């Protein structure tokens, strides 16, 4: 595996691969990798000749009350996992390389509607930071395809919409959420959970599953979501939100909608957990 941290070397390598006719897949990450990230690498190999990953803790997507300094950085262990997964190239730029003018003078990308509400409301500016850094990384790597985990369902919709609206020649491949045996979605933030919190954290996914069964029989989406939120809170978590939405637009679901997604987030100790489930009626 090649590891690069400067733009010129990255572009030179990508250009060589292009001249050889290779198809390129890309998996952007913030590091602290787990089996969910490796599933993205595995999927990427199915669609391309060369797989590029990036590790970049993006300061633009962290809010004022979110401590970027304490975000886990585990580069050596991450490199070992990526090498074992046969990743061809790892790009590890610094903030100074990605944002040479600083954040205040950086051009940014806004994706309307799908980035509003849910995590967009709980974390103001988050999806602006996500869209901007992904757009910039796409311009640097110029992949044919890119893989993103469906655990971050709203993020996937933001990126798909950005690619469509800006006519980027990139196929976005969503990859199913990888879970613990308990049902808890794998996340870098699970490392913040204590042993006791790990026991109650699966209540989020369990109540999403309960809600998915209920909405097949009852269209009182708002009332059912409130019940699920109460169940989550009674389990010892603190619900941030739980909503039943149209699967593509992320607008509140109507009785006539058939392709739905349940979006949910809850606090468990220091960790903010997110999860979702698509439901086809």
**Could you list the active site residues?**
37
Spatial distance between the Cα atoms of 172 and 6, rounded to a whole number of angstroms: 25
272 has which bridge partners?
267
Q: How many CB atoms lie within 10 A of CB 151?
A: 20
Please identify which residue in the block is written with the tokens 């796409």: 138
Calculate the CA 174 to chain-centre distance.
10
Calculate the CA 214 to chain-centre distance.
27
2 CB-near residues (< 8 Å, 6+ apart): 13, 88, 89, 90
Are the CB atoms for 131 and 154 separated by under 8 Å? Answer: no
Environment class of residue 15 by beta-carbon count within 10 Å: exposed (0-12), middle (13-18) or buried (19+)?
A: exposed
Nearest to 176 by CA among 186, 164, 167, 189: 186
Nearest to 32 by CA among 77, 90, 68: 77
Environment class of residue 277 by beta-carbon count within 10 Å: exposed (0-12), middle (13-18) or buried (19+)?
A: middle
């Amino acid at each position: 595996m090649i590891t690069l941290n400067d733009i010129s070397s990255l572009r030179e390598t990508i250009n060589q691969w292009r001249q050889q006719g290779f198809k390129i897949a890309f998996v952007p990450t913030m590091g602290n990798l787990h089996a969910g990230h490796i599933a993205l690498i595995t999927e990427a190999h199915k669609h391309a000749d060369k797989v590029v990953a990036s590790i970049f803790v993006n300061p633009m997507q962290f809010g004022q009350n979110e401590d970027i300094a304490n975000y886990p950085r585990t580069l050596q262990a991450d490199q070992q996992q990526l090498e074992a997964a046969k990743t061809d190239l790892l790009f590890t730029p610094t903030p100074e390389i990605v944002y040479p003018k600083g954040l205040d003078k950086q051009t940014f990308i806004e994706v309307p509607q799908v980035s509003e509400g849910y995590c967009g409301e709980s974390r103001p500016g988050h999806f602006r930071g996500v869209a901007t850094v992904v757009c910039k990384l796409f311009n640097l790597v110029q992949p044919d395809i890119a893989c993103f985990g469906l655990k971050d369902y709203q993020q996937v919709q933001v990126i798909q919409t950005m690619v469509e609206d800006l006519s980027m020649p990139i196929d976005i491949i969503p990859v199913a959420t990888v879970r613990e045996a308990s049902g808890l979605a794998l996340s870098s933030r699970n490392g913040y959970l204590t042993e006791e919190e790990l026991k109650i954290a699966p209540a989020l996914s369990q109540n999403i599953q309960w809600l998915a069964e209920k909405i097949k029989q009852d269209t009182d989406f708002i009332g059912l979501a409130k019940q699920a939120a109460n169940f989550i809170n009674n389990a010892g978590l603190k619900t941030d939100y739980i909503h039943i939405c149209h699967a593509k637009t992320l607008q509140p679901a109507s009785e006539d909608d058939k392709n739905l997604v349940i979006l949910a987030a809850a606090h468990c100790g220091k960790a903010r957990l997110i999860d979702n489930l698509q439901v086809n009626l």
